[in-house]
Structure 1
Amino acid sequence: MMKEFKRYLITAALPYANGPNHIGHLAGCYLPADIYVRYLRAKRLDVKFVCGSDEHGVPITIRAMKENITPQQVVDKYHKIIKESFAEMGISFDIYSRTSNPVHHKTASDFFLNLYEKGLFEEKQTEQFFDEEKQTFLADRYITGTCPVCGYPHAFGDQCENCGSSLSPEILINPRSTLSDAVPVKRKTTHWYFPLQNYEQFLRKWILEDHKEWKNNVYGQCKSWLDKGLQPRAMTRDSNWGVKVPLPNAEGKVLYVWFDAPIGYISATKELLENWEDYWCKEDTKLVHFIGKDNIVFHCIIFPSMLKAHGDFVLPDNVPANEFLNIEGQKVSTSRNWAVWVDEYLKDFPGQQDVLRYVLCANAPETKDNDFTWKDFQDRNNSELVAIFGNFVNRTFVLMHKLCNGKVPTLHADIIDDADKKMVAEFEQTKIKIENLLDQYKFRDALYEVIDLARKGNKYLQEKQPWIVAKQTNNNGQPAIEAQNKIDNCLHICLQLCANLSIFINPFLPFTAKKMIYMMKVVDKMLDWENAGKSKLLSVGYSLRAPELLFRKIEDEEINFQIEKLKRGLVDSLNKLQTTVDQNKEENKMESIKPEIVFDDFAKIDLKVGTILSAEKVEKADKLLKLEVDLGFEKRTIVSGIALHFKPEEIAGKQVVVVANLAPRKMRGIESNGMILMAEDKEGKLHFVKPEDKINPGASVT
């Protein structure tokens, strides 16, 4: 038996305020969330829709450094752009807040203290990279160096923006702090860890047993995480930007952004409502998180565990995450400017918000990654919105004004035929289908049913042909009574169908629904869901306004412009990248011969010939191999970032040159005792530096 809910709280993932939103964001969670909320509102249910800008974390501070402004200036700038874009696209939040607000800082701090005072956190000391010049700990994105995969000299510690490889600071060549250009060192730091492993049993029952109805991608990803076993997770970071850790011994530490961000849903509800606790603390609330697939673990594993640990909050009833939307066959890349930005779309297609809403929903990545193309955008607009939906409504209104004096005609019960009955029956059947689909978060299929009803209306109208029937005239040249009655019945049913279409399309295309009720001269209340499926929504004899085109045809020139704009943006970004690379090459040329040293400096380096005995991949590190090397006098473990160039089984037995007196260094928890000398060719391929002939391990290189 389905649980009855008294109120609904719907959230959409908090977007990072470090840049504008693109259509992938809309398709991922904001549009489906808005459709669902509008549907619930149409049913006159108690629903609140909350969201806001996520204004903390490394992406904000990185953007601030790039633009040479403060983090606060960054979030102020992009919060405004994002909020305005959402409003123009009809994303109908009850509140769009921001995590820099005082109410959020207090809410997040209080939440942390609640868990801390229960003794749930484990205080642990670990080693992290530190900038001695700036006297600050460095997140991975604060460290830059040469990518070991492609040789790009300005790769970040978590990813190379040139080749896209995932990295770690340990495997960067010549790592530097982005704050000071100093070489980072490892230093001990203290953080507070949430014991996620203690909630594994709770999560297994709550998700794997109690929520088998969740989408396959969500359920599967959660199961994968749980099957691997959960580990403690640090809930604090070393930074000065964010919610301060509310403890006396936590100077320079803030809450982890993924601890603080989902609490933003709670703080936004606090801003919106005095009775906010009704929506967060009462069991008859249905909480639904709309997110993209990259946020599943945070909303289904970490945040629910936090809520469970706190004890006062309801848990999400569902987390309908979408997959990713690609653009013209390629993954969206903000760094390469391969994206369709929402604010730019609104400028290029004024008044066409519903066209984008339609295409993104009709092509929604609900079960797998989907592809947005400008050609498909044009085809769906012209062949579905214009030729099917808009065409039916327009033809009905034009014929009503021409053949029925601009008024809703009478329905003559004595001549109703099977085609009329079948068409009217479709109203209620379509309502049931759409309800079932929306309740299951199948928005794409639900939208199809709306368009399919308009398609059936076109077919019905075409078969009835009232314009042909009108030629059956009496002696005065007017349609004969029998002919007029047939015309009246056909157009009466078509007008009632138009009224139903306005209700059905409202959650998906709200601007279109508004145009339709204006043409029908009815108030917003007509869009209430209780009216859907009815066949007597427009009163007989009621005058209706002249038709307005709901959609316009989109021409080839507009589409070609958008395709060229997309390509031009990519070329411009690549040119900027190439300019940077060229500048780096010049710098590298100037630095190709390092500062002069004396013989005594060189004599400090102890180079030995070694033989690789075995090699294996380092777990969870795509670039690292763990080598066992025989140096003659001893065997050493050396971790080397060469996994992308050599397979482990290929290099056993090879001789190499080892820097034998290099200080030990931990990489992925493995102590590495030495460095393998490598040479890189112009294609970026690595080669072992080795003796020409086989030699005894341990021989010195002089």
Structure 2
Amino acid sequence: MQYNRVLITAALPYANGPLHVGHLAGCYIPSDIYARYQRAQKREVAFIGGSDEHGVPITIRAMKESITPQEVVDRYHTQIKESFEQLGISFDIYSRTSSPVHHETAADFFKKLYDDGLFEEKESEQYYDEEKQTFLADRYIIGTCPICSNPNAYGDQCEKCGTSLSPEQLIEPRSALSNNPPVKKMTKHWYFPLNQYEPWLKEWVLEEHKEWKNNVYGQCKSWLDSGLYPRAMTRDSKWGVPVPLPGAEGKVLYVWFDAPIGYISATKELTENWADYWCKDDTKLVHFIGKDNIVFHCIIFPAMLKAHGGFVLPDNVPANEFLNLEGDKVSTSRNWAVWIHEYLKEFEGCEDVLRYYLTAIAPETKDSDFTWKGFQDANNSELVAIFGNFVNRCMVLMHKLCGGKVPPIHPELLDNEDTIIFEEIKKTKQIVEDAIEQYKFREAQFAVIDLARKGNQYLQKREPWKAANLLKEGGETAINAQKLIDNVMHIALQLSANLAIFINPFLPKTAKKMLHLFKVVDKMLEWENAGKEKLLSVGYSLREPELLFRKIEDSEIEAQVAKLQESAKAYAAAQALLNPPAEEVVPEVTVAPVKEEIVFDDFAKIDLRVGTIVTAEKVQKADKLLKLSVDLGFETRTIVSGIALHFNPEDIIGKQVVVVVNLAPRKMRGIESQGMILMAEDSSGKLHFVNPETAINTGAGVN
């Protein structure tokens, strides 16, 4: 379908704390790359962002700091917005869900569904704090995790082991407000009949959007195969968008009903023509999110839009996986994070370096790991040594050998090496276009750096500095030497200009700096100029060379690693004070005895292959079993695995695993299991996947 405008949204960050690198890698840098590219293509674009200022995390932060929720969101909205601006995240608007426009838009949306008779009023028992006289959202309930025995797990998730929970699963639950055990009390809420939209969602997602990323499609399929249920779209709280109904005092809209409507209300603030973006079929709507938001953007919000009527639906939802930090999960409670506002102060002028590294390691298909050593290597070995080095060499040699001006080209002396460079420029344009349109930003950025690498190789082969030695000989030799120098430098400079266009979506400040060196205007960055052989005019004088990137020193990296280590020590000390051990107990380590000895021929009979989990769903009436579809490269098999107590189905989509593929099929709960997944069990009894350290081809043998 031909689209006339592109509507891009990035998940609204909670305004209860600062941004960290996981946020950026998850959706904000990818969405900005996409928006900048679409603008360069001269397409009509609206890039929408804003702070999510309602919900339990806000009120918990306010409670901890003894301030009001409004004071919390005012502080962090400002900080988050400034961080985005400094990083060059080019939102057309960055709004907030506490704005009057949003409150009105969200309330009107709810009222429309209510007036259409879609909501079901239901009473149910909810946890209640008698001392504080308030109902408790899941995050207000704390207890012992049934999986890892963490004594401070939340009612919706254990942050230690990552398991999704419900308050009923917690051992000895207590209120986060008073520390007292909660009681159950009846309350009324309005439920959206999500189950009624299940047939439509199966058709729309599973049939019409098979092109979505595997992790997105797989998680949606798992939810839909497990069956949908009505969901409460209101909560008992004093903070949020009030439910616009009589007799609903003390109740607000559920944050995941209210927050995505923030995309619509922000667009209303941006332009009077907001309906063109949200209500016309020739709009391409793309949601950029992290994987923890997939169900809300692919199932719940589309069902809401469908129920309301008159709105476009997302064309794609390119969700990324999670970014870890130095081999461990990013954790705000443990202060195990790289905070963006701190980075911007400590690495002033290196905004593009962070953008580059997070794109290079983007968790597009699986979780990835931010390391400070990797960050340093990406800067010093790639940006400095390849991209920056090529541009700087061009500028230095141009001033030294061509009088500081773009030299002419002499077609009669062009050869195959010169032709190849022009072909590589055009090829890079196509690669970058295709990759960005398919949301493969790592691949696109790599292609740009690879072109700079080829530029360095071209200069090294041509060695124009050697031809300069022939100028003093005079005559025909000097004339041909100057022509060779002119050709090499002309081609290298045109390649540099193309690099500025190609790198602009990824490193916008670097592209601007290059324009300054070339003394050209922003118009050159329009995508129609990419791949052209004549971007810089012959005879045009360019500025003196400047380094695009600086080297990052070992001492800077050591300081950052030390800061993380101090955070870990401080957290451990705080936990020790909160949960002192009753007595010093040396745990007894039990090791399973080694099984009966086998010979090599016995082992050789086992066929182990690397597979990728495509779908995962719970087996009905079997608490421990998951039904998995595993892509083995040569075929996709159904495998039933007893891992349901250790993993959520939606969290393992896209994981690579090791499979015994020649095990005789076995029926479990009426399902034929066609293999077995290898797992490891730690001392606490928790299972862990045995999988490749880095992604490899599906179907690869394990020897």
Match of 2:56 in 1: 58
Q: CA deviation at 1:83?
A: 0.7
Q: CA deviation at 1:137?
A: 1.2
2:299 to 288, 298, 301: 301
Match of 1:278 in 2: 276
1:504-653 to structure 2, matched below 5 A, reads: 504-582=502-580
The answer to whether the 8 A contact 2:18-2:341 is kept is yes
Structure label with greater radius of gyration:
1
Deviates more, 1:135-144 or 1:414-423: 135-144
Query: What SS does structure 2 have at the residue aligned with 1:301?
Result: helix
Match of 2:461 in 1: 463
The answer to whether the 8 A contact 1:470-1:479 is kept is no
1:30-429 to structure 2, matched below 5 A, reads: 30-146=28-144, 154-160=152-158, 166-429=164-427
Q: CA deviation at 1:183?
A: 3.4
What is the CA–CA distance in structure 1 between the aligned matches of 2:445 and 2:226, rounded to whole Å? 38
Q: CA deviation at 1:379?
A: 1.0
What is the CA–CA distance in structure 1 between the aligned matches of 2:571 and 2:475, rounded to whole Å? 69
TM-superposition CA deviations, 1:113-167 (whole Å, max 9, x none): 1101110111111111112233221112222345566666554333455666554
What is the CA–CA distance in structure 2 between the aligned matches of 1:375 and 1:51, rounded to whole Å? 32
What is the CA–CA distance in structure 2 between the aligned matches of 1:394 and 1:271, rounded to whole Å? 44
Distance change >3 Å, CA 228–CA 154, structure 1 → 2: closer
Query: What SS does structure 2 have at the residue aligned with 1:582?
Result: coil
Query: What SS does structure 1 have at the residue aligned with 2:298?
Result: helix
The answer to whether the 8 A contact 1:409-1:489 is kept is yes
The answer to whether the 8 A contact 1:410-1:540 is kept is yes
Q: CA deviation at 1:452?
A: 0.8
AA aligned to 2:386 is I
Q: Percent identity?
A: 71
Q: CA deviation at 1:246?
A: 0.5
Match of 1:651 in 2: none
AA aligned to 1:496 is Q
AA aligned to 2:434 is N
What is the CA–CA distance in structure 2 between the aligned matches of 1:237 and 1:225, rounded to whole Å? 23
Q: CA deviation at 1:168?
A: 3.8
Distance change >3 Å, CA 150–CA 390, structure 1 → 2: closer
Query: What SS does structure 1 have at the residue aligned with 2:533?
Result: coil
Distance change >3 Å, CA 555–CA 201, structure 1 → 2: same
What is the CA–CA distance in structure 2 between the aligned matches of 1:428 and 1:32, rounded to whole Å? 24
The TM-score normalised by the length of structure 1 is 0.82
Distance change >3 Å, CA 329–CA 66, structure 1 → 2: same
How many residue pairs match? The answer is 597
The TM-score normalised by the length of structure 2 is 0.81
The answer to whether the 8 A contact 2:471-2:482 is kept is no
The answer to whether the 8 A contact 1:153-1:584 is kept is no
Match of 2:15 in 1: 17
What is the CA–CA distance in structure 2 between the aligned matches of 1:482 and 1:551, rounded to whole Å? 35
Match of 2:630 in 1: none
Distance change >3 Å, CA 13–CA 644, structure 1 → 2: closer
Q: CA deviation at 1:553?
A: 1.2
Distance change >3 Å, CA 6–CA 399, structure 1 → 2: same
Q: CA deviation at 1:618?
A: 12
What is the CA–CA distance in structure 1 between the aligned matches of 2:473 and 2:564, rounded to whole Å? 64
Q: CA deviation at 1:432?
A: 1.1
AA aligned to 1:8 is V
AA aligned to 2:558 is N
Structure 1, unaligned runs of 5 or more = 586-616, 624-642, 646-682, 685-702
The answer to whether the 8 A contact 1:144-1:154 is kept is yes
Q: CA deviation at 1:424?
A: 1.2
TM-superposition CA deviations, 1:397-425 (whole Å, max 9, x none): 10000000000001011111111111112
> Is 1:435 the counterpart of 2:438 in the alignment?
no
The answer to whether the 8 A contact 2:422-2:533 is kept is yes
Query: What SS does structure 2 have at the residue aligned with 1:197?
Result: helix
Deviates more, 1:144-153 or 1:245-254: 144-153
